[in-house]
Structure 1
């Protein structure tokens, strides 16, 4: 099971890199606009030095990797190291594949770019990894320089500064389209991260067979449970309450188990918006770059 999970994680990370690279090389560039972030900074540098932007981007990501290790430590590096190596490579390879998705309306092309790039980036963030771009640079600046400033404000300032720098190489129209693409891709990415996953529910169970239900929760649906001792308001007797967070499919399994076993239970079910934790269905608490 663990090998399968590692394989799926690797597959999704490669898919993420391919989608983002397609958005940049096959949609953005053929339609005459660029992108923001470190990629846009690389494109700006490439227009002056004549080196392929993907190679410049590779250098910037490796520099970012080193700075991250020196300032934020190994834990943060472990979240970006694989994509810091893979994504620039995929970006460079697809830059040499002659495929162009050209649309008559540039605004539609920008929207297509935003959707493809947002889906690709969202896959990565759902897995708990990062490309090590301006989000990582913002974390470094917050820790070492602007400790009192909110991370999102640092990120906005970085993106704005990069777009101003891009004006030295590209027209205002080109940069404006890049800005619109940025807005669309961020919204698509946030939807992928926070809304596309399984619906989660908090299930509170008061019953006379807590040990059997707890065993089912842990062994069968692979979630955990919080156990509390409560007092029944009517009977005034001590009772055991189980509190579990699970997705909709797991909730149905749990409900059917209790029904088939004939347990006499009092159950409350609450739909949840976001849950942060280490389970594959939960978000990570350090996803501070996303709202």
Structure 2
């Protein structure tokens, strides 16, 4: 129950962060990169429906299709995030209508239009969820075709972005194209940052004090391997363990103070599969 409540909080907050970035910075500047919300900007130009309402309708249609094609399992996390995002965008249009951008700095607004949705998407992907939209199309394509899903979605996003050049102006189109180019890099970067841990290789003569500290003080575990020094020929031990960033500082300081002769290698890693870490 605690884990489910924690995921629910993550789902809600990350989706709301996405909604703020999309509504206040993307919609108001007519940036057209990025799936359904990018298409919504183009459709809103016709004046027949607002960007928020189009996103709501499109996401609901895709959710219904996804439910019947992909099954109930698909609907759990994706449906909640998609509905919340759609309702939040439509609600913001009514609560806080905007006739122009927040500032007269389009580059600054582009940064927030990319960064806030990227943070939200990274958190959702990290807990195995998504905000719906073109992700649903990708899941359906993956199930029934052998297409390269990433390339297919990139072509779709590229088409929508290029359309911005003709519907709006060259400057808006160029900003949208820049946003498309940077968005995927930012999402990957945020995911790696969320999952970043420290991988330890500790070469020492007496592993027991270090392992006791890891078990008793850090409440983690480690693996010990017997080894031999190539230069000295002495018997050695190698301790393998993984810590989060805060724990890594404590362990590093302990080893430097209590085992100054130990040879210590610390590297960054963002793919940890096992008990006690989030990438399971």
User: Which residue does the alignment assign to 2:81?
Assistant: 83
Q: Secondary structure at the match of 1:131?
A: coil
User: Which residue does the alignment assign to 2:267?
Assistant: 271
CA deviations over 1:122-177 (Å, ceiling 9, x no partner): 33334443212334422432332134x3x432221221244466678x33544443
Higher helix share: 2
- Taking only aligned residues, the RMSD between alpha carbons, in angstroms, comes to 3.9
| Aligned: 1:110 with 2:110 | yes
CA deviations over 1:198-226 (Å, ceiling 9, x no partner): 5523334556555x755754565354434
Q: Secondary structure at the match of 1:104?
A: coil
Q: Report the alpha carbon displacement of residue 25 of structure 1 after superposing the two structures with TM.
A: 1.9
User: Which residue does the alignment assign to 1:245?
Assistant: 242
Return the TM-score normalized by structure 1. 0.71
Q: How does 1:53-68 map to 2 (within 5 A)?
A: 53-68=51-66
CA deviations over 1:86-112 (Å, ceiling 9, x no partner): 211222211222264432243443233
Q: Where does the alignment leave 5 or more consecutive residues of structure 1 unmatched?
A: 285-291
Q: Report the alpha carbon displacement of residue 83 of structure 1 after superposing the two structures with TM.
A: 0.9
- 2:191 maps to which of 190, 193, 202: 193
Q: 1:166 to 1:218 in 2, by over 3 A?
A: farther
Distance 2:135 2:216 in 1: 38
Distance 1:172 1:141 in 2: 33
Q: 1:253 to 1:88 in 2, by over 3 A?
A: same
Q: Report the alpha carbon displacement of residue 37 of structure 1 after superposing the two structures with TM.
A: 0.6
User: Which residue does the alignment assign to 1:153?
Assistant: 151
User: Which residue does the alignment assign to 2:125?
Assistant: 125
Q: Secondary structure at the match of 2:81?
A: helix
Q: Secondary structure at the match of 1:243?
A: strand
Distance 1:75 1:240 in 2: 46
Q: Secondary structure at the match of 2:29?
A: coil
Q: Report the alpha carbon displacement of residue 58 of structure 1 after superposing the two structures with TM.
A: 3.0
Q: Where does the alignment leave 5 or more consecutive residues of structure 2 unmatched?
A: none
Distance 1:215 1:89 in 2: 52
- 1:232 maps to which of 223, 228, 245: 228
Q: 1:136 to 1:271 in 2, by over 3 A?
A: farther
Distance 1:78 1:280 in 2: 24
Q: 1:117 to 1:213 in 2, by over 3 A?
A: same
Q: How does 1:132-147 map to 2 (within 5 A)?
A: 132-147=132-147
Note if contact 2:199-2:267 (Cα within 8 Å) is conserved in structure 1: yes
Q: Secondary structure at the match of 1:113?
A: helix
User: Which residue does the alignment assign to 1:287?
Assistant: none
